[in-house]
């Protein structure tokens, strides 16, 4: 499997392959931006925090009752909360300070796109070290076109920097020879630093660090080596678990319910008004009618009573979500790509037992962790993307070896198979991108932003979805409060809408149905923005 050509030629071939992967990744991600003029969205809250830091020197962004504040009001009115995934807004804050606030509208899209392409190149060199250049090329080309990878590359503020840190960490773990876990103590210590940076940029990478620690100890049986591997991670990542860390921010996941930002409260409550002014009634209703996925985890964390049955039900929902993704056309690419992954897994089981066992451990720990936290989001698949990519690449390579027709060069066969796979993935992306843009609340915010900028002074009530409200705050730099459409209907029915709007000093409303907008106009005299 490994290259037998002279080393200088190997390097030249590898460089050309890496360049192709980089360019292909950029083109695959840039095409929807070229067609639409913008991405399908991202973690806008991280950009809001970064914008505020660049503008006025603070990462805070929210009032004590959940208003997304403009930079004019954030210093005087924001409450102090911890940051979720703190390193991402910190890095973006520095980027915004360097490039200027007036350029942030399109900049994150390209930061995310370039970051994804860099990760794909790093992945190529990682896989090349493990399985050779051909498998590395097949794997990363397929990965670059997998639907969830392209959506991930368009999703600014999510995994932009975390995945690069994670790839560097894995490269260091590999050491200087072919195989896994060959790094010396110095490389393992450096790897630990980059694992910590990955987890700081996206906290969920903490879960993927655990299997590397476990497997390395299993192989080496060295407490000293494990200590070297773990200690830098504990020092760096653990610093954000204190109320006042060296980063200047604490981790938002560990705050109590009264100090949580709404992006955490929103895992349970439909909107800030419910979370702050109707909390007990809503929780009682949840407990009477049954908890949804994620709610039991957060309510338990905040000290509320949660039954074992409710937890098990949430775990089951989470497991079903991730199992379904394996054959989903708009995630990996459907049954065809799953077939290649199964083929690759079979070869790995027969010929690469060590790597097979490690992949099994990695996926097992990762899935267990996500089920425990009751998640079901597709974006978490980006944390283990190397596994399906490698299995797909091995599947393509092995099918090439399996066919072996007479008088046809194997490189031609593998090229045809790869083109077939990429063609199929391009078709899958057609539907994935359609679904992503159709359901994108960021797109709604882009379409409404110009009108919202001209709204009268005062807070603007936004409907549709929290990400719509986040996008409006980021694009317009206006004070925005999100009201869930269902909560609005309840307030209207109970005659409390005017009271709620007075609490938040709402003067304008956008993103509500025609019937709700008419009621809002009649009961509050707020300005309605149609879009």
The mean predicted confidence, pLDDT, of the chain is 89
* Predicted pLDDT of residue 347: 94
48 and 77: one domain? yes
* Predicted pLDDT of residue 105: 55
Going by their DSSP bridges, the two strands 459-462 and 506-510 should be labelled as parallel
Q: Please write the tens of the pLDDT for every residue from 43-65.
A: 999 999 999 999 999 999 999 99
* Predicted pLDDT of residue 259: 74
* Predicted pLDDT of residue 3: 47
* Mean per-residue pLDDT, 458-463: 95
Half-sphere exposure of 47 (CA within 13 A, CB side): 30
Q: Please write the tens of the pLDDT for every residue from 463-508.
A: 999 999 999 999 999 999 999 999 999 999 999 999 999 999 999 9
324 and 361: one domain? yes
430 and 334: one domain? yes
- Token digits of residue 379: 């974006």
DSSP 40-91: S---HHHHHHHHHHHHHS----BBTTS-B--TTTHHHHBPP-PBSSTHHHHH
328 and 465: one domain? no
Q: Tell whether 174 is covered by a domain.
A: yes
pLDDT higher at 244 or 205:
205
Burial of residue 76 (CB within 10 Å: 0-12, 13-18, 19+) is exposed
CB of 139 within 8 A of CB of 393? yes
Q: Tell whether 295 is covered by a domain.
A: no
Work out how many domains the chain is built from and give that number.
2
* Predicted pLDDT of residue 1: 45
Q: Please write the tens of the pLDDT for every residue from 340-366.
A: 999 999 999 999 889 999 999 999 999
- Token digits of residue 498: 């005017």
Contact partners, residue 367, CB within 8 Å, separation at least 6: 319, 322
199 and 334: one domain? yes
* Mean per-residue pLDDT, 453-461: 93
Give the confidence band of 314 by pLDDT, cuts at 50, 70, 90.
Answer: confident
Q: Tell whether 2 is covered by a domain.
A: no
CA angle at 39 for the pair 36 and 43, rounded to the nearest 5°: 160
* Predicted pLDDT of residue 366: 97
Using DSSP, state whether 507 is helix, strand or coil.
strand
| pLDDT exceeds cutoff 60 at 112 | yes
* Predicted pLDDT of residue 474: 94
121 and 162: one domain? yes
Domain range spanning residue 67?
44-105+441-529
Q: What percent of the chain has pLDDT over 70?
A: 93
Q: Tell whether 239 is covered by a domain.
A: yes
Q: Please write the tens of the pLDDT for every residue from 504-526.
A: 999 999 999 999 999 999 999 99
Q: Tell whether 61 is covered by a domain.
A: yes
Give the confidence band of 406 by pLDDT, cuts at 50, 70, 90.
Answer: low
340 and 412: one domain? yes
364 and 352: one domain? yes
Q: Please write the tens of the pLDDT for every residue from 62-100.
A: 999 999 999 999 999 998 877 888 899 999 999 999 887
How far is residue 481's CA from residue 461's CA, in Å, rounded to a whole number?
Answer: 5
117 and 232: one domain? yes
Chain centroid to Cα 351, Å, comes to 33
* Predicted pLDDT of residue 2: 43
DSSP 354-380: HHHHHHHHHHHHHHHHHHHTT---GGG
CA angle at 384 for the pair 356 and 397, rounded to the nearest 5°: 55
| pLDDT exceeds cutoff 60 at 245 | no
* Predicted pLDDT of residue 55: 93
| pLDDT exceeds cutoff 90 at 138 | yes
The last residue of a domain, from among 411, 438, 465 = 438
The last residue of a domain, from among 415, 438, 461 = 438
460 and 494: one domain? yes
Q: What percent of the chain has pLDDT over 90?
A: 68
* Predicted pLDDT of residue 339: 95
99 and 200: one domain? no
Helix (H) / strand (E) element for 529: namely strand 527-529
Q: Tell whether 51 is covered by a domain.
A: yes
Closest residue by Cα to residue 122 from 166, 84, 78, 73: 166
Q: pTM of the predicted model, to two decimals?
A: 0.92
Q: Tell whether 297 is covered by a domain.
A: no
Give the confidence band of 184 by pLDDT, cuts at 50, 70, 90.
Answer: confident
What is the side-by-side order of every strand in the sheet holding 459-462? 480-482, 459-462, 506-510, 527-529
DSSP 377-409: -GGGGGGGTHHHHHHHHHHHHHHHHHH--TTS-
The last residue of a domain, from among 384, 416, 438 = 438
Q: What is the CATH number of the domain that holds 494?
A: 3.40.50
151 and 231: one domain? yes
Q: Tell whether 354 is covered by a domain.
A: yes
């Amino acid at each position: 499997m490994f290259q037998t050509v002279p080393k200088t030629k190997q390097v030249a071939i590898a460089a050309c392959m890496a360049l192709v992967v980089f360019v292909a990744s950029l083109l695959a991600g840039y095409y929807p931006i070229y067609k639409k003029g913008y991405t399908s969205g991202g973690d806008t809250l991280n950009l809001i925090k970064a914008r505020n830091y660049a503008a006025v020197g603070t990462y805070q962004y929210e009032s004590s009752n959940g208003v997304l504040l403009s930079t004019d009001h954030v210093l005087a009115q924001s409450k102090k909360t911890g940051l979720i995934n703190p390193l991402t807004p910190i890095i973006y804050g520095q980027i915004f300070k360097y490039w200027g606030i007036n350029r942030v509208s399109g900049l994150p899209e390209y930061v995310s796109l370039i970051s994804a392409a860099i990760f794909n190149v790093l992945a190529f060199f990682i896989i090349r070290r493990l399985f050779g250049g051909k498998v590395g090329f097949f794997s990363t080309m397929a990965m670059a076109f997998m639907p969830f990878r392209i959506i991930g590359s368009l999703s600014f503020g999510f995994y932009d920097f975390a995945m690069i840190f994670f790839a560097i960490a894995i490269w260091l773990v590999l050491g200087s020879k072919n195989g896994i876990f060959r790094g010396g103590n110095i490389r393992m210590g450096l790897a630990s630093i980059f694992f910590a940076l990955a987890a700081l940029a996206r906290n969920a990478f903490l879960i993927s660090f655990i299997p590397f620690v476990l497997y390395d100890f299993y192989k080496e049986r060295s407490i000293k080596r494990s200590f070297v591997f773990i200690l830098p991670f504990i020092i760096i990542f653990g610093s954000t678990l204190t109320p006042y860390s060296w980063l200047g921010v604490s981790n938002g996941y560990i705050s109590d319910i009264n100090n949580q930002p709404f992006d955490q409260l929103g895992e349970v409550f439909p909107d800030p008004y419910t979370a702050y002014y109707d909390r007990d009634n809503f929780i009682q209703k949840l407990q009477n009618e049954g908890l949804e996925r994620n709610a039991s985890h957060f309510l338990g964390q905040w000290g509320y009573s949660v039954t074992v049955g409710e937890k098990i039900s949430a775990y089951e929902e989470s497991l079903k979500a991730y199992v379904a993704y394996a054959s989903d056309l708009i995630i990996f690419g459907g049954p065809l790509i799953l077939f290649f992954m199964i083929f690759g897994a079979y070869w790995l089981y027969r010929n690469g037992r060590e790597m097979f066992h490690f992949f099994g451990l990695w996926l097992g720990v990762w899935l267990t962790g996500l089920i425990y936290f009751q998640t079901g989001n597709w974006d978490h698949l980006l944390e283990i993307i190397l596994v399906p990519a490698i299995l797909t690449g091995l599947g393509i390579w092995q099918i090439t070896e399996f066919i072996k027709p007479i008088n046809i060069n194997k490189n031609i066969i593998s090229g045809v198979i790869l083109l077939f796979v990429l063609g199929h993935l391009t078709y899958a992306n057609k539907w994935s991108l359609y679904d992503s843009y159709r359901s994108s609340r960021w797109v709604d915010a882009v379409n409404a932003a110009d009108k919202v900028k001209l709204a009268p002074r005062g807070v603007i009530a936004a409907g549709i979805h929290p990400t719509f409200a986040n996008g409006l705050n980021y694009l317009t730099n206006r004070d925005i409060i999100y009201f869930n459409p269902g909560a609005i209907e309840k307030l209207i029915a109970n005659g409390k809408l005017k009271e709620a709007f007075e609490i938040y000093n709402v003067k304008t409303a956008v993103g509500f149905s025609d019937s709700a907008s008419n009621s809002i106009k009649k009961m509050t005299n707020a300005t309605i923005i149609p879009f």
